[in-house]
Amino acid sequence: MTSDNNDHYQKLFKEMAIPRFLIRADDTENFRFDDANMLALKYFDMDHDQVAGKKISDVLSNENVMHFEQSFEVCIEKKRSVTIQALPGVPGGIRIYGFYISPIMNDNGDVTHLDVIGHLDVADQSILQRERDDAISLLTSIFEVSEIGIVVSDHNRRIVRVNDSFVRTYGWTRDELINSDVVDFITPDEREMAYRNHDEFITNGVRSSGEVKLIRKDGSIANALYTTATIELSQKRRFQVTTVMDITLRKQMEVSLRHAKEQADTANRAKSAFLANMSHELRTPMNAIIGFSEMILKETFGPIGNDKYIEYIGDVHTSAGHLLEIINEVLDMSKIEAGRIELDESEVCMSELIKSVFRMMESRIFGKDLVLHQDLEPDLPYIFADQRLMRQVLINLITNSIKFSNPGGNIYINAKMVENNIMQVTIRDEGIGIPKDKLKQAMEPFGQVTDKAENSGQQGTGLGLPLAKAMIQLHQGSIMLDSDTGQGTTVIFRIPPTRILKKAKTA
């Protein structure tokens, strides 16, 4: 090769539009640079003297050195070109997609040099640009088609961009909004706070959310839920992006619901007061009817003279007694709902209380072919409670079991202490039961769930279980109901440890 040709080759090599360098392959332990063109030097961010004759390990990081050396060894061994991808971490500013490594051999076929040519990442830059353009297009589309209003304001609170949803919802034209102070569209009573918040949010990059009242074009006031975020663009320009969701209808519904609830509460209190007053007024004549009918039944002032009259007056006495029970239940429930029941608390011996109720209930089932069983844990502790209400709970629950039990059935009463110092009382029967899907209804006032009581001659208000539940809850206790059609009913109520006494203080 002549001197001119050699100079021409060197010029072409040095000024090639792609990075290129030569590696000596005669020492596979130390791959050294033989030469590098200008773009290769720029890629390594070094000058020619820093590269020429240097080992590749002196120029590149360990990760890149291993990557290149492995590729060099394959190229020398196979004696054919190989391709590798560029690894990150090279100090220069040029992006390289990959390298072609080609062996240069002498006349004997031995590899003396490796010709390494880099490929600029032109295609990758194009892909990045397309992805960037697609992302901008996507964000612009989301901004415009969003059903939530979006307002962008600068550090002077001037609106620089607003989407169609905000324009449609609040009636202002885009021209009226752009370059206007964003705070001007907030009601006067909230503007002072809006001034402070906008300046603070955009300065400190604070994210926030809350409610705000906006002025529509027609002068009406709209309630809105807003969220804000600060973005920073080139030259440290900051903007506040505010999303606005109109909640005017929701606010109106809240007001309507609140008003309806207040009306319902007022009506419920009036109902409870009416029932309480009526029940109280009805009890006086009912007591007179019961008293006089008892006197007639006993023929206190002489014989009646006709057995049919005795039968009728017996029906009057029974019906009056039943009606008095209903009146008392309604009165108790009305007092509880009105919050007018005050607990008369004292030390109560649950064992004695259950036994006394048990004896009273045994007299009621005489001749009904039912059997009561009681199983009380020895030495049950006393409780701090209203004895009258606790007695009423037991009477209501056992009476229910008696009403809805079939002839030949059994009713079980159990009381014991369970975990966490809780007293548990269980009343279980083998009666007609309650459908599973109506258990919740059975615990609500007047929530009768079956018509079978009518067939058995039993009637009631449906207040037995709800009254028991309310009275137990007045003692901070809980009550559970388990039943199914034809499977009997089990009611469990629990007295909390705060009402359990080790023993009666007066014992």
Strands 111-120 and 20-24: antiparallel
Does the domain at residues 345-499 carry the CATH identifier 3.40.50.1820? no
The Cα 246–Cα 212 span in angstroms is 10
Q: 352: alpha, beta or left, given left = phi > 0 and alpha = psi -120 to 50?
A: alpha
Give me the pLDDT at residue 456, please: 44
Nearest to 447 by CA among 433, 434, 459, 461: 461
Nearest to 429 by CA among 394, 402, 465, 458: 402
CA distances (Å), origin 362, targets 368, 374, 493: 10, 11, 22
The Cα 250–Cα 245 span in angstroms is 11
- At residue 331's C-alpha, the angle toward residues 477 and 428, to 5°, is 45
Question: At the topology level of CATH, where does 252-337 sit?
Answer: Helix Hairpins (1.10.287)
DSSP secondary structure, 144-161, as one string: HH-SSEEEEE-TTSBEEE
CB distance 71 to 114 below 8 Å = no
- Cβ neighbours of 141 (radius 10 Å): 10
Whether 126-246 and 3-120 are alike in CATH topology: the answer is yes
Give me the pLDDT at residue 452, please: 46
The Cα 186–Cα 190 span in angstroms is 7
The Cα 432–Cα 409 span in angstroms is 10
CB distance 440 to 466 below 8 Å = no
Architecture of domain 3-120: 2-Layer Sandwich (3.30)
Beta-bridge partners for 426: 414, 492
Give me the pLDDT at residue 457, please: 46
Give me the pLDDT at residue 303, please: 84
How many helices (H) and strands (E) are present in the chain, helices listed first?
A: 16, 17
Sheet strands side by side (includes 159-162): 159-162, 149-153, 238-246, 221-232, 208-215
Per the structure block, which two tokens stand in for 461?
Answer: 């208000």
Which residue carries 């083998």 as its tokens? 430
H-only helix segments in 298-343:
307-337
pTM over 0.75: no
Instruction: Show the low-confidence residues of the chain (pLDDT under 70).
Output: 1-5, 87-93, 121-133, 135, 272, 275-280, 338-340, 445-462, 503-507
Give me the pLDDT at residue 453, please: 42
Q: Radius of gyration of the chain from Cα atoms?
A: 47
Alpha carbon 263 to its chain centroid, in Å, reads 30
Strands 410-418 and 371-376: parallel
Superfamily grouping for domain 126-246: PAS domain (3.30.450.20)
Give me the pLDDT at residue 130, please: 66
Q: Where exactly are the structural domains of the chain?
A: 3-120, 126-246, 252-337, 345-499
Q: 468: alpha, beta or left, given left = phi > 0 and alpha = psi -120 to 50?
A: alpha
Strands 208-215 and 221-232: antiparallel
CB distance 43 to 92 below 8 Å = yes
Q: How many residues does the chain have?
A: 507
